Amino acid sequence: MPGSLAPDTPARPGSAALDTAAARVAVPESPASAAPVADPVGPGGSSEARVVDGLVIPKHFDFTPLATSTRAALFGKLLTQPHAEPLDLDQVVDDLQTLIAGPFVDEFGNEAHAVPGEGSDLELWILGSSGGESARVAGARGLPFAANYHVAPAKVLEAVEAYRAAFRPSKTLSAPHVMVSADVVVAEDDDTAKELAIPYALWVRSIRSGGGAIPFPSVEESLAHQWTDEDRDLVADRLDTHFVGSPQTVAERLETLRRVTAADELLVTTITHDHADRVRSFELLAKEWIA
């Protein structure tokens, strides 16, 4: 893939591509990963947490209060022009593909050019958090699809199933291509990684409570927070699906995620208070994955 580092390096079982912001771990297709494990609950998710062939699928988090918060209303006001009507996703993708190929020509022969971007070798991906419009459009247009396990883990199986069901071959892809995301923290041993991951809960709380993401706190700041039952409910699904531990511990959990979703690639994100710990997390994981 464009932008990858060491794309031909043998990996567990594919090749690793890392930078200090995220890691893309490519996984070649094999008979064991030709199709995802069926979700026994089916589309729509569940109100209770469960484990599907070793993968934690937490209960669904309701984003409605967050989407209807006063902060969301503020940004909606700033970003939405009076009487504006958003295009449907299929039209947006069509316009983007036309701009990348260039030029964009209207019915009067007027041309618009994307500068930079026109004529470039860009990969157009669609990210989805459920089996809704994003998954269906990505599949129907034969585009690669990224399923959002790290933010909306309850719907990841629904998302990849809907994408594959809707897939039609295109000039871009002859078969479905799925990337699945995960939040991880890796350190030399499980205990060290768990300590580095302590602030994650407070940071997620700041987002889920509607106030917006705070600067990633220190361990000390996080331990000083007085947690309520409401706080714990806000972050439970993210903590249950946060892959934290030694390189072996995290690699094993990522392999389970890959196997159950039949992912072709994994998108790995890490956030810690100290940037050096973040970089070290990627280094340790990369070394373990390609071992």
Please report the DSSP string for 123-166 in residue order: ---EEESSSSHHHHHHHHTT--EEE-TTT-GGGHHHHHHHHHHH
Residues in the chain: 291
What Cα–Cα distance (Å) separates residue 172 from each residue in 19, 124, 125?
A: 25, 9, 11
Q: How confident is the model at residue 1 (pLDDT cuts 50, 70, 90)?
A: very low
Lowest mean pLDDT among 67-71, 99-103, 195-199: 67-71
Say which residue, 285 or 13, is predicted with more confidence: 285
CB 72 within 8 A of CB 66: yes
Spatial separation of the C-alpha atoms in residues 37 and 145, rounded to whole Å: 18
| Residues 168-190, mean pLDDT to the nearest whole number | 97
| Mean of the per-residue pLDDT values of the chain | 85
Q: How confident is the model at residue 23 (pLDDT cuts 50, 70, 90)?
A: low
Q: How confident is the model at residue 24 (pLDDT cuts 50, 70, 90)?
A: low
Q: What single-letter DSSP state applies at residue 76?
A: H
Model's pTM, two decimal places? 0.82
pLDDT at 69: 81
Tens digit of pLDDT for each residue in 235-284?
999 999 999 999 999 999 999 999 999 999 999 999 999 999 999 999 99
Q: What single-letter DSSP state applies at residue 33?
A: G
pLDDT at 249: 98
What percent of the chain has pLDDT above 70?
Answer: 84
pLDDT at 47: 64
Query: In this structure, what are the phi and psi dihedrals at residue 9, rounded to the nearest 5 degrees?
Result: -75, 125
What Cα–Cα distance (Å) separates residue 142 from each residue in 112, 164, 175, 222, 283?
A: 25, 10, 8, 44, 33
Tens digit of pLDDT for each residue in 122-158?
899 999 999 999 999 999 999 999 999 999 999 999 9
Tens digit of pLDDT for each residue in 34-58?
455 544 444 444 568 899 999 999 9
CB 284 within 8 A of CB 187: yes
Is residue 176 pLDDT above 90, yes or no? Answer: yes
Spatial separation of the C-alpha atoms in residues 103 and 109, rounded to whole Å: 11
Query: In this structure, what are the phi and psi dihedrals at residue 197, rounded to the nearest 5 degrees?
Result: -85, -5
Spatial separation of the C-alpha atoms in residues 199 and 205, rounded to whole Å: 10
Handedness of CA 258, 261, 265, 270 (dihedral sign): negative
CB 274 within 8 A of CB 195: no
Which ranges in the chain belong to alpha helices (H)? Answer: 64-67, 70-79, 89-101, 133-140, 156-166, 190-196, 198-208, 219-223, 229-240, 247-261, 275-289
